[in-house]
C-alpha cells in the first residue's frame, strides 16, 4: 500500500483494520515544540474539515497527539493512525509539521479546501504506520518576481504549495534588470523608480509583441516581514537574492552613479523592458560597495538568521565589456593587483562574502562566482549544468544542484504546438522524476557537500499566477519526490507507479485551485497562440 502519497514515504505499513475517524469530538494534544503544527492543524486543516480540534488528552482514542523525539533527525517523523487515534512524533518541530502534511493527504482531496463542501463527510483515515524523513536538507524552489511581479498573497500561496510538497527552501529572486521588488528605506528610489518599467516584452525577446501598459510593483518591508513569518510557521527557509554585479539595470536606473558612468550615459537608462542579459553592470567603486552594504543591512533585518541563514548575491551573467572599456574599472583592477575583469567580479563577491560572514550569514551565488576564484565559505547554486557544482564540491564548497537542463521549470513540458510561449528543452513530468541531483562519479567527500536541490522558475513569459502554476505543476510534485524520497537510480525509478499516485494528487491540486498542465495537454485558455517562444530541440546535454 502506498496510500497515494506524494512524495512517497521511506516506510509505510498497514496496521489493524480499525479505521481512525475524525469528527466533532476529535481533540488535539500538542506537546512542547509542536506549536506551529498545532496552529496549522486548527487553522488550515481544521477549516477544511469543519472541525474545531479543541485540546484533549494525549494518546486517547479520538485524539491527534503531537510529540517530539530529540533522538530522531529534526525533519524525520513517525505517523501512526492505528487503534482509532492519530499519533505524530517528529524529531523536531519540522518533522511534526511534515507529518501533518502526510496526514492531510491521507484524508483525501477535500482536506485541501478552505472550507468543508459536504457537512455529511466522514473523515476516515486508513490504519497505517509511516516512518519517513528527507533525503536532502535543501529542497527548494526559486521564484523570480523581478521579471513578473507576484502580489504578496500569491507568494503566501506558493509557500503553502511548497509546504504541501515538503519543500523547505524558498529562494526569493527580488532584483533584476527588469525590476527591483523590495523596499529599502535608505535608498527609496530603488522602488520609486526601479520597481516600474514603461512597457513589457510579450513572449520571448525575439517576439515583436509588446504590452504597452506600465508594469511593476514591490513588497513593502512589512510585506516582507509577513512573508518571512508565514514561511517560518511552515518550516520553510527563505533565501533572499539581491543581484550583483550584473542584472542590476533597475538599480542603476534609480541611482545612475552605480553604473559605469565613464563609458555609458547611465542617466539615460531606464528599467529594462526586454529579456536577456543587460550589458549595464555595477561600477567597481567603494561607493557601490557602501550602497549595497546599506541594502543588505536592511535585508538582514527583514530576513532573520533562523529563517534566512543564506543570502544569495547572484553573480551570474555579468558581461564585462563595460569594465574592459572603463578607465576607472581598469584603474581599480591595477590597484587591487587583479589579473583581469573576472578577478574584479571575484573581488565583488569576496567582499560581500566577508561582509555577510562577519554578520553570521552565508553567501550563496550562481556558479559564475567560481570565475576568478571562489570566495572562501561561499556556497554555489549550480545552474549551467552539473560541472560548476562538481568543481565547487570537489573543492570543499557546499552546493545546491539546480541545472538548467533538468529543473528549470520555465522550460516547456511538451514538444507539441499548443505549449504556451515554449521555452527551452522539453522537460516532461517523467524527465523531472528521473532527475538525479548527485552526479555519478562524485567522490564521497564531495557528495557530502551537495546540500540538496531546487527547481528554478524564471518568469519572463509568466505574466500572472496562472501562467506560473501551469509551468510549475505538476512537475514540482515530481521534483519534490526526487528531493525528499530515497529513490533508486534514475533509470530504475518506477515512473508508472508515480504516475498512478499522481491521479490522486491531481485531485489535491484541483482542490487547492492550482492551474496545472493537464496530462492530456493545455486547456484552450492555457494556450498562447501566436506568441513567440524559444524552443530548443533534442535532448538537453549533461554538462
What positions carry a catalytic annotation? 176, 247, 317
Q: Degrees (nearest 5) of the Cα angle 6, 11, 13?
A: 100
Rounded distance between C-alpha atoms, residue 202 and residue 39, angstroms: 42
What sign for the dihedral angle of Cα 261, 373, 335, 349?
positive
Instruction: Count Cβ atoms below 10 Å from residue 267 Cβ, excluding itself.
Output: 11
Rounded distance between C-alpha atoms, residue 166 and residue 177, angstroms: 32
Do 167 and 485 touch, CB atoms closer than 8 A?
no
Instruction: Count Cβ atoms below 10 Å from residue 210 Cβ, excluding itself.
Output: 14
Element (H, E) at 231: helix 221-233
Element (H, E) at 451: strand 450-457
Cis peptide bond N-terminal to 245, omega within 30: yes
Beta strands in 309-444 (DSSP E): 310-314, 362-366, 379-382, 399-401, 423-424
Rounded distance between C-alpha atoms, residue 91 and residue 40, angstroms: 18
What sign for the dihedral angle of Cα 476, 478, 482, 485?
positive
Amino acid at each position: 500500500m502506498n496510500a497515494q502519497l506524494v512524495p512517497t514515504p521511506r516506510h509505510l505499513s498497514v496496521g489493524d483494520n480499525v479505521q481512525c475517524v475524525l469528527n466533532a469530538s476529535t481533540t488535539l494534544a500538542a506537546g512542547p515544540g509542536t506549536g506551529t503544527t498545532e496552529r496549522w492543524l486548527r487553522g488550515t486543516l481544521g477549516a477544511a474539515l469543519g472541525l474545531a480540534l479543541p485540546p484533549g488528552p494525549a494518546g486517547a482514542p479520538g485524539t491527534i497527539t503531537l510529540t517530539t523525539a530529540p533522538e530522531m533527525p529534526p525533519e524525520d517523523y513517525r505517523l501512526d493512525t492505528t487503534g482509532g487515534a492519530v499519533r505524530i512524533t517528529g524529531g523536531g518541530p519540522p518533522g511534526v509539521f511534515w507529518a501533518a502534511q502526510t496526514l492531510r493527504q491521507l484524508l483525501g482531496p477535500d482536506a485541501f479546501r478552505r472550507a468543508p463542501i459536504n457537512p455529511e463527510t466522514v473523515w476516515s483515515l486508513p490504519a497505517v504506520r509511516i516512518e519517513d524523513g528527507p533525503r536532502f536538507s535543501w529542497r527548494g524552489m526559486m521564484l523570480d518576481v523581478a521579471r513578473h511581479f507576484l502580489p504578496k498573497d500569491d507568494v503566501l500561496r506558493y509557500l503553502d504549495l511548497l509546504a504541501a510538497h515538503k519543500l523547505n527552501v524558498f529562494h526569493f529572486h527580488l532584483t533584476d534588470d527588469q525590476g527591483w521588488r523590495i523596499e529599502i528605506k535608505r535608498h527609496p528610489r530603488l522602488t520609486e523608480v526601479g520597481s516600474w518599467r514603461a512597457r513589457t516584452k510579450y513572449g520571448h525577446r525575439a517576439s515583436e509583441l509588446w504590452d504597452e501598459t506600465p508594469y511593476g510593483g514591490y513588497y513593502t518591508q512589512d510585506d516582507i516581514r509577513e512573508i518571512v513569518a508565514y514561511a517560518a510557521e511552515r518550516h520553510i527557509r527563505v533565501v533572499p537574492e539581491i543581484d550583483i554585479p550584473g542584472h542590476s539595470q533597475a538599480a542603476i536606473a534609480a541611482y545612475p552613479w552605480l553604473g559605469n558612468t565613464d563609458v555609458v550615459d547611465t542617466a539615460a537608462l531606464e528599467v529594462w523592458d526586454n529579456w536577456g542579459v543587460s550589458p549595464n553592470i555595477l561600477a567597481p567603486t567603494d561607493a557601490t560597495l557602501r550602497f549595497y552594504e546599506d541594502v543588505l543591512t536592511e535585508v538582514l533585518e527583514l530576513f532573520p538568521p533562523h529563517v534566512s541563514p543564506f543570502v544569495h548575491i547572484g553573480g551570474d551573467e555579468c558581461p564585462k565589456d563595460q569594465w574592459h572599456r572603463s578607465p576607472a574599472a581598469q584603474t581599480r583592477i591595477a590597484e587591487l593587483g587583479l589579473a583581469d575583469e573576472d578577478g574584479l567580479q571575484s573581488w565583488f563577491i569576496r567582499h560581500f562574502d566577508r561582509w555577510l560572514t562577519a554578520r553570521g550569514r552565508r553567501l550563496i551565488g550562481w556558479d559564475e562566482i567560481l570565475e576568478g576564484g571562489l570566495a572562501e565559505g561561499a556556497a554555489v547554486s549550480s545552474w549551467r549544468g552539473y560541472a560548476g557544482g562538481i568543481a565547487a564540491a570537489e573543492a570543499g564548497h557546499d552546493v545546491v544542484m539546480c541545472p538548467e537542463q533538468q529543473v528549470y521549470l520555465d522550460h516547456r513540458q511538451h514538444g507539441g504546438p499548443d505549449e504556451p510561449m515554449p521555452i527551452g528543452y522539453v522537460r516532461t513530468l517523467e524527465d523531472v522524476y528521473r532527475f538525479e541531483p548527485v552526479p555519478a562519479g562524485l567522490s564521497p567527500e564531495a557528495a557530502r557537500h551537495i546540500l540538496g536541490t531546487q527547481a528554478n522558475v524564471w518568469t519572463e513569459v509568466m505574466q500572472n499566477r496562472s501562467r506560473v502554476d501551469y509551468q510549475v505543476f505538476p512537475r514540482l510534485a515530481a521534483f519534490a519526490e526526487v528531493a525528499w524520497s530515497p529513490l533508486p537510480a534514475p533509470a530504475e525509478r518506477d515512473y508508472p507507479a508515480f504516475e498512478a499516485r499522481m491521479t490522486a494528487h491531481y485531485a489535491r491540486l484541483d482542490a487547492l485551485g492550482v492551474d496545472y498542465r493537464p496530462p492530456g495537454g493545455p486547456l484552450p485558455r492555457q494556450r498562447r497562440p501566436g506568441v513567440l517562444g524559444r524552443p530548443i530541440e533534442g535532448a538537453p546535454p549533461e554538462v
